[in-house]
Amino acid sequence: MKKLLSRTAATAICVAFAGEAMATEWNVSLWGKRRAFTEHVEKLAELVSEKTGGDFTLNISYGGLSKNRENLDGISIGAFEMAQFCAGYHRDKNPSITVMELPFLGVSSLEMERDIAMAVYQHPAVVEDLARWNATLLMPSPLPQYNIVGVGDAPATLADFEGMSVRATGGIGAAMETVGAVPTSMSATEVRQAMDSGVVKAVSFAPHAHMSFGTVENAEWWTTNLNPGTVNCPVVANSDALADLSDAHREALTSSIDEALNYYIESYNTKTMDAWGPLLEEKGITQVTFTDGEIAAFKEAAAAPAANAWIEANTAAGLPAQELYDLVTGMVAEGM
């Protein structure tokens, strides 16, 4: 009887350890605070936990694991299992996805941004590019066209941007250079201080970021229709961690991506955009709208030169740059 009880106890202990071993926790590195930009990650965590009965948990950290410019490096060494980053923070590390940051691509909705980004992320050259960092692209963070808030005299024409210091990354920065602005690249968390101290006079962001990072607090004007482009900020997983998941946990993760993105887009299109207009009115921020002629001239000066330079540089670096550009512009033309 004692032997039987011993065996039973041992079996129970083994089962308990096995159950414990099946639980999976991933650390997720974001930055700032919870906001529209991170709602798909929050939703993904919720869905994964629900589908696995709490056996697979995404522990989301806002700045506690890494600086935002170092999230891709952290993924590469396995410091955490999932992270969000923006391609324009380090174009040399992820040149393939910077095609999505070219100015005036003509992307007209968050849905289109999502569909094109997912197609780009699945291109073999892009997969290989991110694999250098042991990273697997999971989903984008679709953002609307950027516009600019600033202090001082509001620009009456595009010529008034001459000499103005503007926080603008990637293709947006290149576009602003064509109208004489002086683009400065800095992470979102540094922007408010730079604006308050006069390091920059204007800031290019999507509406949620203007609200989240406080640039509307002292802004005096806002461009309604500059729309030079947007940034591409994917969510990635450490490839080894993804491969090590059980089939059930991997399925719970990957099968939740579409729903998480749908939730994100719905939330951004309603909560964020519905709040933006009233906030501008409340704070008395002058809304600047440029003429159709000026926007057309801006596009002509910025779009083709930036695209040609990107294709030339990245072809020389070994990427199928023309193919990636044609993928994006082809989907835009089809209204995807």
pLDDT tens per residue, range 50-70: 999 999 999 999 999 999 999
Cβ atoms of residues 56 and 34 within 8 Å: no
Q: Is residue 208 part of a domain?
A: yes
Question: What is the signed CA dihedral for 198, 101, 240, 41, rounded to 10 degrees?
Answer: 70
Average pLDDT score over residue span 84-95: 94
> Same domain for 155 and 52?
no
> Same domain for 90 and 115?
yes
Q: Is residue 277 part of a domain?
A: no
Q: Which helix (H) or strand (E) covers residue 194, if one does? A: helix 188-197
pLDDT at 188 over 90: no
> Same domain for 116 and 179?
no
pLDDT tens per residue, range 23-41: 999 999 999 999 999 999 9
Q: How far is CA 188 from CA 31, 167, 214, 270, 322, in A?
A: 9, 9, 10, 23, 30
pLDDT at 11 over 80: no
Sheet architecture: strand order including 165-167? 182-184, 165-167, 202-205, 147-150, 221-223, 286-288
Q: Is residue 76 part of a domain?
A: yes
Residue 252: CB atoms within 10 A of its CB come to: 22
Distance, CA of 204 to CA of 146 (rounded, Å): 6
Indicate the average pLDDT of the chain.
Answer: 92
Distance, CA of 234 to CA of 41 (rounded, Å): 11
Distance, CA of 79 to CA of 72 (rounded, Å): 10
pLDDT tens per residue, range 304-321: 999 999 999 999 999 999
pLDDT at 268 over 90: yes
Q: What is the CATH number of the domain that holds 58?
A: 3.40.190.170
pLDDT value for 336: 60
pLDDT value for 10: 46
> Same domain for 170 and 313?
yes
Cβ atoms of residues 269 and 110 within 8 Å: yes
Count structural domains, the chain. Answer: 2
Q: Is residue 20 part of a domain?
A: yes
> Same domain for 13 and 65?
yes
Average pLDDT score over residue span 279-298: 94
- Domain span at residue 325 reads 147-230+283-333
pLDDT tens per residue, range 192-250: 999 999 999 999 999 999 999 999 999 999 999 999 999 999 999 999 999 999 999 99
pTM for the whole thing?
A: 0.87
